[in-house]
C-alpha cells in the first residue's frame, strides 16, 4: 500500500488491495496476537478447572481462581482488541483527518505496550502458580503449560505491535516538524529575476541626435537682398 500519507498510511480515498493488505507487517502481527489469545483462552477454559471433593470448581494453577481468571480475562480482551485493530488498519487508510490518524496511532501504541506488560505479568503469575501445583489432574499439564508458553509468546507479539505504532508516530511527528522552504525566484514573487538576460536588438532603432545639421539643405536657393 501507499505509505506516502500522514503517519505512514496511504492517502485517503485510495484503492483498497486485499492481498497487499493482509501482507502488511502490522496486520500479520495483529493476526498472531489474535491467534495467541485464542490459544491461551482455550487452554485454560478447557482444562484449567477441576471439581473438588466438595463439588466446587478449583483452578488447576495451585487452586488459585485468580490465576485462571486473569489468564482468560486478558486473553478475551486481547481477542476483541486484535479484531478491532485489524479493522482499524483498514479504516486507517480511509481517515482523511491527520488528527484522527494521530489519535489512532497513540491509542494503538499505548494499548499494545500496556497489553505486552499484562501478558508479562500473566506469564510470571501463571508460572509461579504452576510451580506450586501439587499433583495436577491427569491430562491437564499440557494445556496449563501451553497457556504459560503462549503468554510468553504474546509478550513479543504485542511489543511488535507497539513498535510498528511507534514507527508510525515518528513518521507523523517528523512530517509535522519538517521545515517548509520557499522557492526563491518563483513566478510572481517579489524580487524575481528573469532566467536569461534580454538579448540585444539585432536592428536597433537609433534616433537622430539633437542639433544635427541637414546636409541636404544646400539645395535650397536664397535671393540676396537688394539695397
What domain range is 114 assigned to? 31-169
| Number of structural domains found in the chain | 1
Q: How confident is the model at residue 7 (pLDDT cuts 50, 70, 90)?
A: low
pLDDT at 184: 41
pLDDT in tens, 110-157: 999 999 999 999 999 999 999 999 888 888 899 999 999 999 999 999
pLDDT in tens, 81-111: 999 999 988 888 777 777 888 888 999 999 9
Nearest to 122 by CA among 58, 76, 82, 57: 76
What cell was used for 163? 513498535
Cα separation, 131 vs 64, whole angstroms:
12
pLDDT at 162: 96
Residue 202 lies in a domain: no
pLDDT at 54: 82
Residue 60 lies in a domain: yes
Residue 20 lies in a domain: no
Task: Tell how strand 57-59 and strand 49-51 pair up.
Answer: antiparallel
User: Exposed e or buried b for every residue in 9-24, given b needs 16+ CB within 10 A?
Assistant: bbeeeeeeeeeeeeee
pLDDT at 41: 96
Residue 190 lies in a domain: no
pLDDT in tens, 28-59: 999 999 999 999 999 999 999 988 888 788 89
Amino acid at each position: 500500500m501507499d505509505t506516502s500519507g500522514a503517519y505512514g498510511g496511504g492517502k485517503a480515498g485510495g484503492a483498497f488491495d486485499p492481498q497487499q493488505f493482509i501482507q502488511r507487517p502490522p496486520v500479520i502481527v495483529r493476526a498472531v496476537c489474535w491467534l495467541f489469545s485464542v490459544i491461551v483462552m482455550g487452554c485454560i477454559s478447557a482444562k484449567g478447572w477441576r471439581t473438588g471433593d466438595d463439588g466446587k470448581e478449583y483452578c488447576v494453577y495451585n487452586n488459585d481462581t485468580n490465576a485462571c481468571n486473569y489468564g482468560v480475562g486478558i486473553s478475551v480482551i486481547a481477542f476483541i482488541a486484535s479484531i478491532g485493530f485489524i479493522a482499524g488498519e483498514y479504516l486507517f487508510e480511509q481517515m482523511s483527518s491527520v488528527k484522527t490518524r494521530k489519535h489512532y496511532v497513540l491509542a494503538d501504541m499505548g494499548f499494545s505496550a500496556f497489553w505486552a506488560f499484562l501478558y508479562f505479568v500473566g506469564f510470571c503469575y501463571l508460572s509461579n502458580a504452576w510451580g506450586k501445583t501439587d499433583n495436577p489432574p491427569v491430562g491437564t499439564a499440557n494445556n496449563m503449560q501451553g497457556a504459560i508458553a503462549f503468554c510468553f509468546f504474546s509478550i513479543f507479539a504485542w511489543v511488535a505491535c507497539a513498535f510498528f505504532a511507534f514507527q508510525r508516530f515518528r513518521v507523523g511527528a517528523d512530517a509535522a516538524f519538517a521545515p517548509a522552504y520557499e522557492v526563491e525566484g518563483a513566478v510572481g514573487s517579489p524580487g524575481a529575476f528573469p532566467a536569461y538576460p534580454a538579448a540585444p536588438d539585432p536592428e536597433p532603432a537609433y534616433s537622430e541626435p539633437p542639433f544635427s545639421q541637414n546636409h541636404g539643405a544646400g539645395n535650397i536657393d536664397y535671393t540676396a537682398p537688394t539695397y
